Amino acid sequence: MAFALITGASGGIGLSMARELAKRKIDLLIVARSTDKLSAAKKEIEEKYKVRVEFLSLDLSQLGSASKVANWVSENSFAVRILINNAGYGIWGSVEKTPWAQLNNMMQLNMVTIAELCHAMLPELKKHSKSYILNTASTAAYQAVPTLATYAATKSFVVLFTRGLRKELRNSNVSVTCLSPGATSTNFIDRAGMEALKERAEKFSMSADQVAKIAITGMFNEKAEVIPGFMNWLSVQLTYLLTKSIIENVAAGLYKTKN
């Protein structure tokens, strides 16, 4: 049986997508840093859904980590027909006041590893009659966002890279989809250091399970882009209708920091 390989599946949207695929009786390869959380996810999903789950604890922000994942797959002869690049995080604050090492780490994880994993896994994905890639971007990808400038730019990269790859593979067996969630109740806000916005964000947040269900359905329906939630979809459409200056002012107001 072929596997789905999901990065960032130790919690949040990635874990919910893992459960969503397990419900469909798809075996899983899950990757993240936290061994204890991956081990707990394996136990829970195997018991509940009766599928096979294998995990790899790895920091995907490190150079060469995509090759380590690809080697793990080939050394174990895992057949992979679904690749979900979901691991990612944000950093809230001005570019000027954020240490470069932190921005660099985020760019490596959010962009380079995603592109490298797609590149490394394509030969494997091409072996199957039908395969899928799902890359997680964000609604932040569709406009510049002051105080989340680098994060938003990494997610713009994901949208454009994914759409380009989709076109390149249009006559192949591999369908490529981009997922752009809006605010979702996960560990994202805490890791991004956005506690000050937590209360407001939670009012508009979708659950990780809701996002995952829409994402996996969209992937299997071979959608180019999936933007879960009507308000999130609408906010993206407005970025095409209003001037960049207006949209950036709105974004600046939403994500104001003390920096």
Residues that bind ligand NAP (CB under 6 A): 8-14, 32-34, 37, 59-61, 86-90, 109, 136, 138, 181, 183-184, 186-188, 191
The minimum distance between CB 31 and ligand NAP, in angstroms, equals 6
Pick 78 or 89: Cβ nearer ligand NAP: 89
Query: CA-to-CA distance for 132 and 6, rounded, in angstroms?
Result: 12
* Beta carbons within 8 Å of 101's beta carbon, 6+ residues apart: none
Burial of 146 (0-12, 13-18, 19+ CB in 10 A): middle
The minimum distance between CB 12 and ligand NAP, in angstroms, equals 2
The minimum distance between CB 173 and ligand NAP, in angstroms, equals 26
Q: How far is CA 244 from CA 129, 137, 181, 257, in A?
A: 42, 20, 21, 21
Pick 4 or 109: Cβ nearer ligand NAP: 109
Pick 14 or 51: Cβ nearer ligand NAP: 14
Cβ-closest position to ligand NAP: 12
In 3-state terms, the chain is what percent helix, strand and coil (to 5)?
A: 55, 15, 30
Pick 62 or 172: Cβ nearer ligand NAP: 62
- The number of C-alpha atoms within 13 Å of 90 and in the hemisphere containing its C-beta is 29
> In this structure, how many other beta carbons lie within 10 angstroms of the beta carbon of residue 257?
15
Q: Is 97 helix (H, G, I), strand (E, B) or coil?
A: coil
The minimum distance between CB 249 and ligand NAP, in angstroms, equals 21
Query: CA-to-CA distance for 237 and 24, rounded, in angstroms?
Result: 32
* Beta carbons within 8 Å of 47's beta carbon, 6+ residues apart: none
> In this structure, how many other beta carbons lie within 10 angstroms of the beta carbon of residue 112?
17
Pick 38 or 51: Cβ nearer ligand NAP: 38
The minimum distance between CB 163 and ligand NAP, in angstroms, equals 17
> In this structure, how many other beta carbons lie within 10 angstroms of the beta carbon of residue 154?
26
The minimum distance between CB 15 and ligand NAP, in angstroms, equals 7
The minimum distance between CB 76 and ligand NAP, in angstroms, equals 19
Query: CA-to-CA distance for 137 and 125, rounded, in angstroms?
Result: 21
Pick 204 or 246: Cβ nearer ligand NAP: 204
Pick 60 or 169: Cβ nearer ligand NAP: 60
